[in-house]
Amino acid sequence: MATIRKLRGRWQAQVRRRGVKPRCKSFDSKLEAEKWARDLEAQVDRFGVAPDTKILESTTLSDLLERYQREVSPLKRGSVQEIQRIDVLRRHDLAYRTLIGLSQQDIASFRDERLQSVAPSTTVRELAILSQVLEVAIRDWGLPLTKNVVKLVRRPVIRNERSRRLTRDEEQRLLGGCDGGQLPYFKTLLILAIETGMRRGEILGLKWPDVSHNRRVLTLALTKNGSGREVPLSQRAFNALMDWKERAPVDQSTVFPRTPGALEQAWRRLLLRAGITALRFRDLRHESVNRLFEGGLNGIEVSEARPQGRENRLHSFLVCFRGSFQRSGAISTRRRVPAGKIGADGEARRI
């Protein structure tokens, strides 16, 4: 039980529990004393004893981030991106806060400050890392934190639906611009992205044994969702792959030997050569889905041909592009066809 009393002009909090050594501490205000007592009682309830909180006074958030970056991040898929984000977090003023003084107000201020300079999605990812670091510190490293303060803070709302379409003219300019670049396989990579709707990481991770010549499918052993899947190839995509295979170096195990960073740089240079603006590489993934809808496939058929995730993701595509579909008559006049029946020109066909 906690006792709060005024002693020599300050407020003293004392916590007594049966079988536990009494703890007391003085504060300038009664509110601070009551908060300390509540937190200590919560720790006793959780750990069975009053933990030594001195380690929280000497440990900073940066210390936790550094340990997490060293011990946990390398074990994850996408570790490179997470390590880079942790580097950014460790340079922020928040990282110098000691754990004993880290509060949800600190996290909320960090959130509001980051929203002034980065996108909400970036802020959400950074908050997720901070939350995971504190969770690991509590559960696995035994730090006597009473709560994960990041979980108490409201996350920003992400509204990143895009309505950017790749026109046929832009597609031809992109493919034509590949001839002036230094990457001989870039045209094949773009065709594959448009035809299959694969993620950038999935495309760059392709190996030649993943290509089935007889079945004309790509086998992805591990995707972003944590499971494998097969991707059907249109005639156009299959021909582009086979053409590149004939020209690729014999000792090259991966289909496209490039890092995500190098691909991003090449993509930006290509947009400049083609005179195209406001187009992201991931828009090609959206374009692939939208063209199947325009070809007459329904939501179930598209989800089979392009498993982009949950149904709400496909719903967002329909919301963004329903107006253009209705104007073109694609929804009402096109015939529906079975999923995966793609012609040589990339259009859906009934067979």
- CATH number of the domain to which 206 belongs: 1.10.443.10
What's the predicted TM-score (pTM) here?
Answer: 0.62
Are 230 and 254 part of one and the same domain?
yes
Are 188 and 107 part of one and the same domain?
no
Are 176 and 111 part of one and the same domain?
no
Are 45 and 88 part of one and the same domain?
no
Write down which residue in 152, 186, 220 finishes a domain. Answer: 152
Are 86 and 183 part of one and the same domain?
no
Residue-number span of the structural domain to which 326 is assigned = 168-333
CA–CA separation, 321 vs 164, rounded Å? Answer: 9
Which token pair is 73? 């991040």
Per-residue pLDDT of the chain (351 residues; tens, 9 = 90+): 688 888 888 999 988 877 667 788 899 999 999 988 888 787 777 666 555 678 888 999 999 999 999 999 999 877 888 999 999 999 999 999 999 889 999 999 999 999 999 999 999 999 999 999 999 999 999 888 888 999 999 999 887 677 788 999 999 999 998 876 677 889 999 999 999 888 888 899 899 999 988 899 999 886 666 667 888 898 999 999 999 998 888 778 889 988 888 889 999 999 999 999 989 998 898 888 778 776 666 556 566 555 554 444 555 555 454 444 444 444 433 444 444 444 444 444 433
Are 107 and 37 part of one and the same domain?
no
Are 296 and 234 part of one and the same domain?
yes
Give the single-character DSSP code of 99: G
CB contact at 8 A, 107 and 153: yes
Question: Is 13 part of any domain?
Answer: yes
Are 187 and 274 part of one and the same domain?
yes
pLDDT, mean over the chain: 81
Residues 21-70 have pLDDT tens digits of 778 889 999 999 998 888 878 777 766 655 567 888 899 999 999 999 99
Which token pair is 19? 């079988």
Adjacency order of strands within the sheet including 217-220: 211-212, 217-220, 229-232
Write down which residue in 13, 31, 50 finishes a domain. Answer: 50
Task: Report the domain count for the chain.
Answer: 3
Give the C-alpha distances (Å, rounded to integers) separating 238 from 174, 196, 242, 256, 275: 19, 10, 6, 15, 28
